[in-house]
Amino acid sequence: MPSSRRDFLRLSAALGLGPALHPFGLRLASLGALAAPTDYKALVCIFLLGGNDSANMVLATDADSWGRYQTSRNVGGASSIALAEPGAPAVAGALGSQGASALGGVLPIVPRTDNGWPAGTTGTGARTFALHPLMTNVQGLFAQGKAAVVANLGTLVQPVTRAQYKAGTATLPRSLYSHNDQQSTWQTGAGEGARLGWGGLLADTFASANANGVFTAISVSGNAVLLSGRTTLASPSSASGPL
């Protein structure tokens, strides 16, 4: 995508890159290299360190799934964390009295691939899905084919059934119920204490293709093992601050 030095400086200011540039002794000459037309691409990873209610982020809205969702989440009143059905209007100022349903109806999306019914359910026909009411931008991207959902993932070593888990016959991830270890496994493929992340190893592979190696891996949220490679170190930045 063609760029310019002014565009780069503007984006740098938005990301707060200014304070991070000086320790690396970058000059305007190196910024100028970024101004040339290029086929530049970036992989942006947002790692949520807990606190995300995924069951209220992407929802199945067919009758069978929606019924089970409401049974488990709709306790009534302000304590309810159940979202409202598609098309329900938002109720301004009512979040404290009506719970999550006051945000309005969930936002329908239409997957391009077929999704089967979970084992043990009685649903028939096509399954339908939706996003959280506040995810309007993602809904738009999904409709354009620019967003996708990869669901039901975990830090597994191999596929495991409930029977295998209870019988102790399956190989399980190390420290399965340790929050810190599972966060590390997502970033490195190993438990807490691992030093090389898959993002850093990927950056090692592509670093030679970058005109400016310091931009190979940038973190706007402190140090993360995800971006640690054998030769790559993340360039730290802040989410705010002057250029």
Count CB-CB contacts under 10 A for residue 150: 5
Q: How far apart are CA 77 and CA 144, in angstroms?
A: 36
82 and 117 in a single domain? The answer is: yes
How confident is the model at residue 14, as a pLDDT?
45
Considering the domain architecture, whether residues 11 and 83 belong to the same structural domain is answered as no
Q: What is the pLDDT of residue 8?
A: 44
- 13 and 85 together in one domain: no
Q: What is the pLDDT of residue 58?
A: 96
pLDDT of residue 29: 38
The alpha helices in the chain, defined as continuous H runs, are 5-15, 18-21, 28-33, 63-73, 95-98, 136-143, 162-167, 179-188, 198-206
Task: Tell me what pLDDT residue 174 has.
Answer: 84
Q: What is the bridge-based pairing of β-strands 58-60 and 129-131?
A: antiparallel
Residue 219 inside a domain? The answer is yes
Give the chain's domain count: 2
CA–CA separation, 167 and 193 (whole Å): 29
Integer Cα distance of 54 and 47 in angstroms: 13
Give the pLDDT score at 213.
67
186 lies in a domain?
Answer: no
178 inside domain: no
Q: Is 218 inside any structural domain?
A: yes
pTM of the model: 0.69
161 vs 54, 165, 169, CA distance in Å?
22, 6, 10
Quick one: pLDDT at residue 13?
Answer: 46
Kindly state whether residues 63 and 91 are assigned to the same domain.
yes
What pLDDT, on a 0 to 100 scale, did the predictor assign at position 47?
Answer: 86
Question: Domain residues for 26?
Answer: 5-41+195-236
Count of other CB atoms within 10 angstroms of residue 7: 13
- Asked if residue 120 lies in contact with residue 169, where contact means CB atoms within 8 angstroms, the answer is no
As averages over each run of 10 residues, the pLDDT of the chain (243 residues) reads 46 43 38 56 83 89 92 85 93 77 94 80 83 96 94 84 91 86 87 88 84 77 87 80 41
CB atoms within 10 A of CB 161: 11
- Among 143, 166, 184, give the residue marking a domain's end: 143
